[in-house]
């Protein structure tokens, strides 16, 4: 019964989305305040009904209602209760319900937190979100309804949640990822609203900046979680596979990163307006494209949503309408935009845009590498594979100029930067980073050139960032202010940038050290055998049987000694889930600041030995730590006073209606 209500709630949410797409837009066109004022209650209603629908599906999971096809396919009675809550997004239909729930949440957030923005703009933005919402709700109701019943004959027990997803990382990975994916719809809506109104000044950039940063921070976390999950759950010890499912999330992340920086230029300097609008459209379009790639099954990927051409066709139609429509609007309107800012060749504008170029080129590389096998085959030229060698090669080329500009940008002034002053700073920065990189690299017996290059790049970012802070506080220091006081002077959004860049450097250090200095051994071991890697000795203590709530497992234990001192015991599992008849690996990992010890259990061999993978991965946790720090940078930026200006103004009343008047 509740399931029918959930279904009904979705239909109502669709209706509200339709109204939301019409009334405020019409109101903005006709200058009709009441129609525009409908936007907020409609958005709230859309969210509430979607949330109720989501609650209904959760209830069906918790109460084991296997008459729902979706529940029967993704849950079972023996599934632990916490996975019943998270199993709601364990399959295609439910995860899309989560997607629209998050979408409606963003919409409501825009409706509530946009007090400082002109009513007309908000009305248009919400109307565009409503229009996008129509597509999402229709898609779910028509092709992927999680409330479809299996009546009159339904199974006694469900088919269980995919064991791959019975894991903590997977519990939080999809919500974070979707927050990012869908969050870009807000920047998209602002851009389209600006295009429709013809007011492509820099105001829209300012308004959409915090939203973009928020979505970006979530996407960063989502990607990092996905990568971390793949590392400990898939049992191969890798952290990035260039699989289409990863690329699908990486494309909008790259475009979003470019957008974030381009928005800053457009807001502050009123230049590159048409480029920024394009990136806003691109970031969300790539989110949608990624969704299409994963949910339609056009590409071979480790990610397995059951593929269905009907669904694929529907999303493709959605893509054509949303992306095609907005790009057509873009072609019509963007050519009228004129940039009025002025700048010289050596200026922050140029360096930031240079950075943008390489980020966008990286996006293009990922899009090409992901889609090209399909194009190649459809043209009758045969099946090809594009994987790690290609992407690694391209990214190695791209990252060098990218990081170079990344150091230059913050150090330079807007409009015009004196080349001499910059040149001196850069020389120092380069010397310092080269020295630091060589020092670290010398610790390894077989130094790798790639690692040295990567380290130079990482330290380049760190050194230039510190120089930039120093440069910023110098005036205050010279006026006799203390170091702490002058540091406190810097805005939160400035700290956001600093944190974000340092996070990137941390991640880069992790990437290049783990790529160059990982040691991987695949060995066969009998109880008592040992393997030596670096200073570590791994002693195999045998395999023990273990019974979990809905699986049985073999637990392999390996004791690790470092220079004959006991370090830890690694426990790796091979789990067998009887309902899905699936075997899963759980790696045994000892995480550390400078290295991970990784062990995965293979198969038992005929003579009783086990095949075991034992890896030592230096600095691998820095990759995810770096991503986390980057996301933290995003949080700092959003918490900046400027973005709360609207609220402050309101609190102060009409007296200070122009918040930022020069004093």
Both tokens assigned to 397: 């080329």
State which of positions 600-659 bind another protein (CB under 8 A).
602-607, 609, 611, 613
How far apart are alpha carbons 129 and 148 in whole angstroms?
27
How far from 288 is each of 176, 187, 248, 366, 555, CA to CA, in Å?
16, 14, 9, 15, 41
CB of 299 to another protein, least distance (A): 6
Q: Give the nearer residue to another protein in terms of CB position, either 324 or 659.
A: 324
Query: Hey, what's the torsion of the CAs at 435, 436, 437, 443, to 10 degrees?
Result: 110
Both tokens assigned to 441: 């690299």
Per-residue contact string for residues 495-534; x = within reach of another protein by CB under 8 A: -------------------------xxxxx----------
Do residues 157 and 77 make contact, with C-beta atoms less than 8 angstroms apart? yes
Do residues 597 and 568 make contact, with C-beta atoms less than 8 angstroms apart? yes
Phi, psi angle pair for 549, to nearest 5°: -60, -40
Is 353 one of the binding residues for another protein (CB under 8 A)? yes
DSSP H/E element including 286: helix 273-296
How far apart are alpha carbons 422 and 344 in whole angstroms?
14
CB of 280 to another protein, least distance (A): 12
Per-residue contact string for residues 535-574; x = within reach of another protein by CB under 8 A: ----------------------------------------
Q: Give the nearer residue to another protein in terms of CB position, either 306 or 421.
A: 306
Stretch that binds another protein, among 345-353, 476-484, 618-626, 652-660 (CB under 8 A): 345-353
How far apart are alpha carbons 510 and 458 in whole angstroms?
10
Query: Of 473, 472, 459, 441, whose CA–CA distance to 501 is shortest?
Result: 459
CB of 343 to another protein, least distance (A): 6
Q: Give the nearer residue to another protein in terms of CB position, either 651 or 663.
A: 663
Q: Give the nearer residue to another protein in terms of CB position, either 64 or 233.
A: 233
DSSP H/E element including 520: strand 519-525
Stretch that binds another protein, among 25-33, 156-164, 358-366, 651-659 (CB under 8 A): 358-366
| Continuous H helices in 144-243 | 168-197, 203-233
Cβ neighbourhood burial of 524 (10 Å; 0-12, 13-18, 19+) = middle
Q: Give the nearer residue to another protein in terms of CB position, either 27 or 237.
A: 237
Per-residue contact string for residues 176-215; x = within reach of another protein by CB under 8 A: ----------------------------------------
| Site size with another protein, rule: CB under 8 A | 96
88 DSSP β-pair partners: none
User: Looking at 155, 369, 548, 592, which residue binds another protein (CB under 8 A)?
Assistant: 369
User: Looking at 33, 77, 85, 344, which residue binds another protein (CB under 8 A)?
Assistant: 344
Q: Give the nearer residue to another protein in terms of CB position, either 167 or 243.
A: 243
Query: Of 608, 610, 609, whose CA–CA distance to 600 is shortest?
Result: 610
CB of 310 to another protein, least distance (A): 9
User: Looking at 1, 81, 156, 383, which residue binds another protein (CB under 8 A)?
Assistant: 383
Query: Hey, what's the torsion of the CAs at 75, 223, 167, 99, to 10 degrees?
Result: -20
Is 324 one of the binding residues for another protein (CB under 8 A)? yes
How far from 303 is each of 146, 159, 443, CA to CA, in Å?
20, 18, 39
How far apart are alpha carbons 631 and 637 in whole angstroms?
10
CB of 579 to another protein, least distance (A): 14
User: Looking at 376, 472, 494, 642, which residue binds another protein (CB under 8 A)?
Assistant: 376
How far from 382 is each of 373, 389, 450, 647, CA to CA, in Å?
9, 19, 33, 59
CB of 583 to another protein, least distance (A): 6
State which of positions 396-455 bind another protein (CB under 8 A).
398, 415-416
CB of 538 to another protein, least distance (A): 13
544 DSSP β-pair partners: 555
Do residues 601 and 452 make contact, with C-beta atoms less than 8 angstroms apart? no
CB of 261 to another protein, least distance (A): 14
User: Looking at 31, 34, 152, 581, which residue binds another protein (CB under 8 A)?
Assistant: 581
Is 304 one of the binding residues for another protein (CB under 8 A)? yes
State which of positions 386-405 bind another protein (CB under 8 A).
386-390, 393-394, 398
How far apart are alpha carbons 48 and 9 in whole angstroms?
9
User: Looking at 139, 232, 343, 536, which residue binds another protein (CB under 8 A)?
Assistant: 343
State which of positions 243-302 bind another protein (CB under 8 A).
243-244, 274, 278, 281-282, 285, 292, 296-302
How far apart are alpha carbons 471 and 462 in whole angstroms?
14
Query: Hey, what's the torsion of the CAs at 130, 132, 138, 143, to 10 degrees?
Result: -150
Radius of gyration of the chain (CA): 27
Is 583 one of the binding residues for another protein (CB under 8 A)? yes
CB of 3 to another protein, least distance (A): 25
User: Looking at 375, 421, 435, 442, which residue binds another protein (CB under 8 A)?
Assistant: 375
């Amino acid at each position: 019964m509740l399931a029918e209500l959930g279904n009904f709630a979705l239909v109502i949410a669709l209706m509200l989305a339709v109204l939301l797409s019409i009334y405020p837009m019409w109101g903005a066109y006709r200058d009709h305040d009441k129609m525009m004022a409908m936007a907020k209650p409609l958005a709230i209603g859309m969210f509430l009904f979607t949330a109720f629908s989501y609650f209904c599906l959760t209830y069906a999971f918790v109460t084991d209602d296997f008459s729902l096809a979706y529940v029967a396919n993704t849950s079972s009675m023996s599934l632990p209760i916490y996975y019943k809550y998270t199993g709601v997004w364990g399959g295609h239909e439910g995860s899309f319900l989560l997607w629209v729930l998050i979408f409606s949440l963003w919409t409501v957030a825009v409706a509530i937190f946009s007090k400082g923005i002109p009513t007309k703009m908000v009305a248009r933005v919400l109307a565009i979100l409503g229009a996008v919402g129509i597509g999402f709700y229709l898609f779910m109701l028509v092709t992927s309804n999680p409330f479809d019943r299996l009546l009159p004959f339904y199974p006694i027990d469900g088919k269980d949640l995919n064991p791959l997803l019975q894991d903590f990382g997977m519990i939080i990975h999809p919500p974070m990822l979707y927050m990012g994916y869908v969050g870009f719809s807000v920047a998209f809506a602002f851009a389209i609203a600006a295009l429709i109104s013809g007011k492509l000044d820099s105001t829209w950039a300012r308004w959409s900046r915090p939203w973009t940063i928020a979505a970006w921070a979530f996407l960063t976390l989502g990607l990092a979680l996905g990568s971390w999950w793949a590392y400990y759950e898939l049992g191969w010890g890798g952290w990035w596979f260039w699989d289409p499912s990863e690329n699908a999330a990486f494309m909008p992340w790259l475009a979003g990163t470019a957008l974030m920086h381009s928005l800053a230029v457009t807001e502050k300097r009123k230049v590159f307006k048409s480029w920024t609008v394009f990136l806003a459209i691109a970031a969300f379009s790539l989110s949608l494209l990624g969704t299409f790639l994963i949910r339609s099954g056009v590409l071979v990927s480790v990610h397995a949503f059951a593929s269905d051409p009907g669904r694929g066709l529907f999303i493709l139609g959605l893509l054509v309408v949303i992306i095609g429509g907005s790009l057509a609007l873009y072609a019509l309107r963007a050519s009228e935009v004129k940039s009025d800012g002025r700048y010289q060749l050596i200026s922050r504008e140029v360096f930031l845009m240079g950075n943008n170029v390489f980020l966008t080129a990286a996006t293009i590389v990922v899009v090409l590498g992901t889609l090209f096998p399909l194009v190649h085959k459809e043209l009758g030229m045969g099946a090809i594979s594009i994987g790690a060698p290609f992407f690694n090669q391209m990214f190695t080329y791209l990252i060098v100029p990218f990081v170079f500009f990344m150091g230059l940008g913050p150090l330079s002034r807007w409009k015009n930067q004196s080349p001499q002053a910059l040149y001196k700073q850069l020389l120092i920065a380069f010397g310092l980073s080269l020295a630091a990189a060589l020092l670290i690299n010398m610790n390894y017996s077989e130094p790798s050139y790639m690692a040295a290059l990567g380290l130079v790049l990482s330290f380049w970012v760190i050194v230039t960032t510190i120089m930039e802070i120093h440069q910023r506080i110098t005036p205050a220091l010279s006026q006799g202010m203390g170091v702490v006081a002058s540091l406190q002077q810097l805005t939160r959004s400035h700290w956001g940038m600093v944190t974000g860049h340092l996070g990137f450097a941390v991640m880069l250090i992790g990437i290049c050290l783990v790529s160059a200095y990982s040691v991987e051994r695949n060995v066969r071991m009998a109880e008592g055998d040992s393997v030596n890697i670096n200073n570590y000795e791994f002693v195999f203590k045998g395999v023990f049987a273990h019974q979990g709530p809905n699986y049985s497992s073999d637990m392999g234990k390996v004791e690790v000694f470092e220079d004959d001192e006991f370090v830890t015991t690694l426990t790796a599992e091979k789990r067998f889930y009887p309902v899905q008849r699936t075997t899963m690996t759980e790696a045994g990992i000892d995480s550390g600041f400078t290295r991970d010890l990784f062990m995965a259990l293979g198969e038992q061999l005929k003579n009783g030995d086990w095949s075991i993978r034992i890896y030592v991965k230096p600095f691998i946790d820095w990759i995810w730590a770096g991503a986390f720090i980057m996301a933290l940078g995003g949080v700092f930026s959003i918490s900046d006073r400027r973005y709360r200006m609207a609220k402050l103004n309101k609190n102060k009343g009409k007296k200070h209606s122009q918040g930022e008047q020069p004093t």
